[in-house]
Structure 1
Amino acid sequence: MKKILSLVLVSALGGALTLGAYKIFVEPKSDFTLNTTADSTFLPATNVSNLAFETPDLTLAAENTVNAVVHVKNVSISSGQMSLQDLFSGNSSPRTQMGTGSGVIINADGYIITNNHVINNSDELTVTLNNNKAYKAEIVGSDPKTDIALLKIKADEDLPFVTFADSDQAKIGEWVLAVGNPFNLTSTVTAGIISAKARDLSGTSSQSFIQTDAAVNPGNSGGALVNTKGELIGINTAISSQTGSYIGYSFAVPSNIARRVIEDIMEFGNVQNGILGISGGSLNSAFSEKLGVNDTEGIYVDSVVEESGAEKAGVKKGDIIKEIDNVKVSKFADLTGHIGAKRVGDQVTLKVSRDGSLKTINVTLTRNETLTLPLVGRVKNAKQEDLKKFKASNGVKIIELDEKYAEYWKKNGINEGSIITSINDTKINSVDDVQQAMKNKSDYEPLRIELINSKGEKERYNFR
C-alpha cells in the first residue's frame, strides 16, 4: 500500500514540474493584460443595446377620456313583418328596434359627437354617462357623407369633455387609445398605434380615415380615438372584417373633419362643404405611363370645374398637384382629407408641377355646385343663360354624361348642357334639390327624370 501511495505522489510531482517548465520556457508570451480595476467597462460582443423597451404611460390619457365617453341607445319604431294574427285582424303591429353605439362629450354644456349611422332613423335617443346617469338626447344635426352627427343633452351639472387635437399632426406609429361604451357598462379602453392615414374605404376618393390597430368592435362606433395626452384625434367609425368582429383594422374620422362638420352644424344648421373644383386620379407607374408623364407621385388633374376656385386661380388640366398647404400629396385621399377640414371661402396653397416646373397657386374653396346623378352623370347648378337657352324656368345642367350610358342619352338628343327640371315629380332648382330627391326615393321606387333635350322638348324617363 505504501509503495502505491509513493508512486502516485512521485507521478503528481513529476507532472507539476513538467507543466511549470513548459509555462516558463516553451509557451509563447502574450501581450494581453486583463485590467481588473474598478474603472473597467465590459461590453457585449454584439452591438445590441441592453436598454429595456419603454412603453408609453397611457393612464393619463385614459383618465382624461373615460368619463367623457357615453353610451348611445337608438330606439326606432317600424311596422315590421306582419304576423299571422296581424294578417287575420287587418292590423300591422309596430315593432321596436334598438341599436347602440358610443359618443364623445365635447363641451361642458352637453354637446355630444357620434356617428350618423348610430342615430339614423331614431325615434328616441338615450345617452348614458359613465356614472350611469341617463338623459334623453336630441339631434342637433348630422352629415351622412362624413358619418358625423351632433347630439345635445340637458344635464344638471357641467360635464367632463374631451378637447380636440390637430389630426393633421398625428403620425403613423404614434400610440393611441380607442375609448367606447358599447355595452352600457362603463367606458372601455383599448390601445394601439396609428397604422395609416388618409385611408379611403369607398374607392371613390371621398373618404379619408385614420387607420389604427386598437381593438374596435360593433358598439364602439362614435367613440373616441385619443392621443397619449387624452386629446381627440378621431371618431371611431368602421372596422374591416369578414366576420363582423375586430381583426386588426379599424378606422376613425379625423378630428379636423369632425370638428369642421359640427361647427358648421352649430353655426349654419347644415354642412358647408368647400371644394377645390378638380377631378383626376393618383399617379403611379402604370397610370403615368398611360398619360405619358414622368411623375409617379401626386394628383393628376384631368378636368377643372367651371367657375370653381381652381379654375379662377388658374389650375389647368394636366397639372400635377404635389403639395397642399406644404403637406405632401401622394393619393387622392390626402387631398380629400385636407379639404374636408376646410370651409367654403377658406384658401389653400397648391404646389403643382406644370411642364416640368413647379408653380405655387392659391385657391379659394367654393361651394359644391356639382353632383353625380346615377345613370345620368355629373350635374351642376344652372346659370340664367343656361336656362334661357332652353326656355326653362328651373333646373340643373348636365356637365358630363355617365360614360356607360352616354351613347343612349346622345341617341335621344340629351347632351352635355341639357337641363334636368324634375326628379320623381320634385321640382329641381339646384343640386341640393337633386340630392334631397334622391334621398327621399325608396329603394323600390323607380327613378323618374324630366329633361329638356337639344330641341327644347321636355321628355320623361323612367328607370327601374
Structure 2
Amino acid sequence: MRAKGLTNAIAGAACAAALAAAPLAAQARQVPDSFAPVAKDLMPAVVNISTTQTVEGETGPLGQLPPGHPLREFFEQFQGQQGQQKRELHSLGSGFIVDEDGYVVTNHHVIRKADKVTVVLDDDTKLDAEIVGTDPKTDLAVLKVKTDRELPSVNWGNSRKAEIGDWVLAIGNPFGLGGSVTAGIVSARGRDINAGPYSRFIQTDTAINRGNSGGPLFNLDGKVIGVNTAILSPNGGSVGVGFALPARVAQPIVSELREDGEVTRGWLGVTVQPVTDDLAAGLDLPEDKGALVGNAAKGGPAAEAGLKQGDVIVSLGGKPVEDAGQLAWLVSQRDPGDEVELKLWRDGKKMAKTVKLGELSDQKMARAAPGQQDKAGNIVAKALGLQLAPAKPQVLEQFDLPSGIEGAVVARVARGGPAASRGIRPGDVITQIGRRAVDSPKDVRQLIAKGAEEGADGVVLLVQRGNKSQFVSVPLAKPETG
C-alpha cells in the first residue's frame, strides 16, 4: 500500500509539473485560428506579372543542333530562311502595390528583357506597366501602372524584428494559378546564397514556387518584411527552403528607383575576403573579424587613401565590419563623394584612414598591382605540394599570363597536397607570404623554411589569378618521422 501510495504521489507531482509547464508550451505552439482576416485584407494589393519577349531563333530540327554539327548544313540547305523565325516568350511572376498611384514592386529577373509587361490585379483587371527602374544587384524592379481608380497598397514592415520561428505569409502567383496564399515560419535570418554582395536573405519554409518571384512575404501584422526571390529545390518545386530579400534592403532601393530610376552606390575600390581563423593566425590579427583587402584598385578611393593588400578593415563610419559582406553593404548605403573613416589592422597595428568614396559602376573592377617574384627548392614541394617557376617570358607564355607579371608562378600542384586542398592551381602567381612580399620562388623557399623551423602549422599566401588576388591559408605538411 505504501509503495502504491508513493507511486501515486510521484505521478501526481509529475502531473502538477506538467500542468505548470503547459501554459508556456501552449504559448510556444500557439497557432492563429485562421489567416483568413489577414489574407483577405492583403490579397487585393498583390498582383500577377505577365511579360512578353520577342526573340529571333532557329526553329525545327535546326534549332536543336549545336554550331558545327555535321547535319546543320543539310537542314540549312532545305530550311533556308524559314529556319529563322520570330517567336514570343512568355513568363509569369508576382508583385505588390506599394502606392495607391500604381507603383508595383517585383523582381528584376521577372521582367528582364521583356518587351511588354502586364500587371493583373486581384479582380483580373489587366493594366499595361511601365518599367520605372531596375537594380540587378538586389534583383529588384519598380513598375508603374495607370488607372483612374485608387489602388489598394501594402506597407513595409521592420524585417529586423522578424525572429526565427515567427509566422509569415506569402502571397503570389505560383505556376500561373493566380492569387495563392501559403503560410510558414521564418527558418533563418541573414542567409547568404551567393546572390550578390548586398543580399542576406530571410529563409522561410513557406511554400514558394515558380511564379512567386517578386511577391511579398508578410508578417501577421500585414506588413511586408521581404520580397520572395529564390528557392532551393532539386526539382523546381517547393521543398520548404525559400528566400526573401529583407525589407530593410528592399525599401530604400525601391524608393531610389521610384525617384531616380536607378540606384547609385558608393565605391571603395577594393576586393575583399572573409577573415578565417587560419588567416587571422597567419596575419597576426587579434580576432577573425573584418574584411581582408585582396586588391586595391589603382587610382580608386581606397588606394588614394593609402589602403594596401593585407589590410583588414574592421569598421566603416563608426559601424563595425564583421565580414566582407557587411563591408559591401555599408559602402553601398553611402553616396558617392561621402567621406568615411575606416579603421583597420596593418602589420599588427590598428590605424584609421579617411576615404572619399567614388561611384560604383559595372565597369569599375578592382585590379591588384602585381607583386614581385627563380626556382623553388624541394622544401616547397614537400611542405606545400607545389612546384614553382620564375616569371620569365617563356613561363608566362606557357600559362597564358600577361607580360610584365612578376612573381613565383605555380607550375605544378601535387594531387591531394596542402595547396591543392585550398584550390591553388597551375598558372596562379604567389606574390606574398604572410605580410612579406616575395620577389622570386627563392624567397618562397626561404620563408617556408623559416616558418617550418619556427614550428608554424601553415602559411598565408597572396595568390594572384587573372586580375584578382586572394589570401589563401595553406597548411604545411609535416615531415615524416620514424
TM-score grouping bracket, smaller chain normalisation: 0.5 to 0.7
What is residue 222 of structure 1 aligned with on the other side?
214
- TM-score for both structures, normalised by structure 2: 0.61
Deviations 1:279-336 (A, max 9, x none): 2211121232343434122222344445655456676654434455676543322333
Match of 1:65 in 2: 42
1:330 aligned onto 2:322: yes
Structure 1 residues without counterparts, runs of 5 or longer: 1-22, 28-33, 35-40, 381-403, 416-464
Q: Secondary structure at the match of 1:225?
A: strand
Rounded Cα–Cα distance in structure 2 between residues aligned with 1:210 and 1:314: 37
Do residues 199 (structure 1) and 173 (structure 2) align?
no
Decide whether the 8 Å contact of 2:229 with 2:244 is kept in 1. yes
Say if 1:175 and 1:194, in contact at 8 Å, map to a contact too. Answer: no
1:108-187 equivalence runs, <5 A? 108-182=100-174, 183-187=176-180
Would you say 1:44 and 2:21 are equivalent positions? no
Counterpart of 2:114, as a letter, is S
Superposed displacement of residue 114, structure 1 = 0.9
Give the % identical residues: 32
Residues 226 and 319 (structure 1), Cα distance of their counterparts in 2 relative to 1, 3 Å cut: farther
Cα distance in 1, alignment partners of residues 327 and 39 from structure 2: 32
Question: Does the aligned pair in 1 maintain the 2:162–2:186 contact within 8 Å?
Answer: no
Q: Secondary structure at the match of 1:253?
A: strand
Residues 208 and 336, structure 1, Cα contact 8 Å, conserved in 2 = no
Which residue of 1 is the match for residue 27 of structure 2? 53
Q: Deviation at 1:96?
A: 2.3
Aligned equivalents of 2:40, 2:162: Cα separation in 1: 20
Give the counterpart of 2:54 among 77, 83, 87: 77
Distance in 2 of aligned mates of 1:201 and 1:224: 21
1:435 aligned residue: none
CA-atom RMSD in angstroms: 4.0
Q: Give the aligned length.
A: 351
Bigger Rg, which one: 1
CA distance in 1, matches of 2:163, 2:317: 17
SS class of match (2:123): coil
The answer to whether residue 271 in structure 2 is matched with residue 279 in structure 1 is yes
The equivalences for 1:180-329 within 5 A come to 180-182=172-174, 183-202=176-195, 205=197, 207-305=199-297, 308-310=300-302, 317-323=309-315, 329=321
Are the counterparts in 2 of residues 71 and 184 from structure 1 also a CA contact under 8 Å? no
Q: Determine helix, strand or coil for the equivalent of 1:76.
A: strand
Q: What does residue 428 of structure 1 align with? A: none
Cα gap change, 1:96/1:363 in structure 2, threshold over 3 Å: closer, same or farther? same
CA-CA distance at 1:94 after TM superposition:
2.5
Amino acid at match of 2:137: K
Deviation at 1:140, TM superposition (A): 1.6
Structure 2 CA distance for partners of 1:160 and 1:317, relative to 1, 3 Å: same
Matched position secondary structure for 2:255? helix
Which residue identity lines up with residue 239 of structure 1 in the other structure? Answer: I
Contact 1:166 1:256 in 2 (8 A): yes
- For residues 124-162 of structure 1, the C-alpha deviation after alignment (integer angstroms, 9 at most, x for no partner) is 221111122111112122222222111111122111112
Residue 356 of structure 1, CA deviation: 6.1
Instruction: For 1:259, give the aligned amino acid.
Output: Q
How far, CA to CA, are the matches of 1:410 and 1:260 in structure 2?
A: 42
How far off is 1:190 after superposition?
2.6
1:313–1:161 distance in 2 versus 1, CA, 3 Å: farther
One-letter identity of the residue aligned with 1:185: G
Question: What's the CA shift for 1:343?
Answer: 3.7
User: Does the 8 A contact of 1:275 with 1:367 survive in 2?
Assistant: yes
8 A Cα contact 1:371 1:379, kept in partner: no
Q: Distance in 2 between matches of 1:332 and 1:406?
A: 34
Distance 1:157 1:369, change over 3 A: closer
Partners of 1:257 and 1:341 within 8 A in 2: no
CA distance 1:263–1:50, change in 2 (3 Å): closer
Matches within 5 A, 1:327-366: 329-345=321-337, 352-353=344-345, 365-366=357-358
For the residues of structure 2 that align with 1:173 and 1:326, how far apart are their CA atoms?
32
- Aligned mates of 2:38, 2:319 — CA distance in 1: 28
Task: Specify the alignment match of 2:465 in structure 1.
Answer: none
Moved more, 189-198 or 325-334: 325-334
Cα distance between partner residues in 2 of 1:264 and 1:44: 58
Q: Give CA deviations for 1:358-411 in whole Å, capped at 9, x if unaligned.
A: 6677755430257477xxx8499xxxxxxxxxxxxxxxxxxxxxxx99974533
Amino acid paired to 1:410: P
